[in-house]
């Protein structure tokens, strides 16, 4: 996998380069926004890890120019700027995920794997988890040959979970996927939608576990 790290902190950049090269990835480094923008015009990558607080052209500008060129490579924002407005802005500009500093390397690696799975799902439109198949284009869930009747909001919640298989999905991430509804979505409402999903999927072997204080994890009970 080809990864571009856009990070101006030399200590963190060296740590990420070492870890990813050790894992067998081909890794490039850009230390500022202008350098990253120039590299991305000429070269292709499978994943970009992008800091926001870059000297000169910031991460938002790099991301905006990338998407304006029609480049849909997965982008993971990695930054100390954890304010909600920054998260929303980054996602609205086309980021695929958001991780705040400080972070644990295993979580970063898990999020990278999830983004790459998601990118492959976009090509096929089909996400499979055990007997459950979710069509991202038609936004339809099927278990075996049976279509699962879901409301629009239940579908959004299911999409949030199944696009991050193997990761704990926070209520904030689910709320962001529901972004666009007229009213705010409360934590209690999200719990209701998750409960309904559990009921509708209970005979399929699909499990949605609540991870206290963190969020939800979707898995298949038949997984080894």
Per-residue model confidence as pLDDT tens digits over 4-44: 999 999 999 999 999 888 887 889 999 999 999 999 988 88
Check if the beta carbon of residue 216 is closer than 8 Å to that of residue 210: yes
Mean pLDDT, residues 163-180 taken together: 79
Kindly tell me if the per-residue pLDDT of 167 is higher than 90: no
Mean pLDDT, residues 81-106 taken together: 84
Predicted TM-score (pTM) of the model is 0.57
pLDDT band at residue 223, thresholds of 50, 70 and 90?
Answer: low
Query: Is the bond preceding 102 in cis, omega lying within 30 degrees of 0?
Result: yes
Kindly tell me if the per-residue pLDDT of 183 is higher than 50: yes
The pLDDT tens digits for 108-159 are 888 888 887 776 655 557 788 889 998 877 888 999 889 999 998 899 899 8
pLDDT band at residue 221, thresholds of 50, 70 and 90?
Answer: confident
Which CATH code is given to the segment(s) 125-220? 1.10.10.10
| pLDDT for 121 | 56
Terminal alpha carbon distance of the chain: 26
* Separation of alpha carbons 163 and 99, rounded Å: 16
| pLDDT for 180 | 54
Where do the domains of the chain lie?
2-119, 125-220
Mean pLDDT, residues 83-92 taken together: 81
| pLDDT for 115 | 84
CATH homologous superfamily for 2-119? Answer: Response regulator (3.40.50.2300)
Instruction: Name the 3-class secondary structure at 146.
Output: strand
Least confident of 7-11, 59-63, 169-173: 169-173
| pLDDT for 87 | 78
| pLDDT for 182 | 46
| pLDDT for 37 | 94
CA angle 216, 181, 77 (to 5 degrees): 55
Q: Which positions ≥6 away from 64 have C-beta within 8 Å?
A: 93, 94
């Amino acid at each position: 996998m080809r990864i571009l790290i856009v990070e101006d902190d030399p200590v963190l950049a060296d740590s990420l380069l070492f870890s990813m090269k050790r894992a067998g990835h081909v890794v490039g480094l850009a230390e500022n926004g202008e350098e990253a923008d120039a590299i991305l015009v000429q070269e292709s990558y499978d994943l970009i890890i992008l800091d926001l607080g870059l000297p000169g052209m910031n991460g938002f500008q790099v991301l905006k120019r990338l998407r304006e060129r029609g480049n849909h490579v997965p982008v993971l924002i990695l930054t100390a700027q954890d304010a909600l407005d920054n998260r929303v802005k980054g996602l609205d500009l086309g980021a695929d995920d958001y991780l705040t500093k400080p972070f644990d390397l295993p979580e970063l690696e898990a999020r990278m794997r999830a983004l790459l799975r998601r990118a492959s799902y976009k090509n096929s439109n089909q996400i499979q988890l055990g007997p459950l198949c979710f069509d991202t284009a038609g936004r339809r869930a099927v278990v075996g040959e049976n279509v699962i009747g879901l409301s629009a909001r239940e579908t959004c919640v299911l999409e949030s979970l199944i696009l991050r298989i193997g990761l704990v999905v926070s209520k904030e991430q689910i709320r962001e996927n529901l972004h666009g509804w007229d009213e705010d979505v409360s934590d209690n409402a999200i719990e209701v939608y998750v409960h309904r999903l559990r009921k509708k999927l209970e005979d399929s072997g699909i499990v949605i576990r609540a991870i206290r204080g963190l969020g939800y994890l979707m898995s298949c009970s038949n997984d080894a």
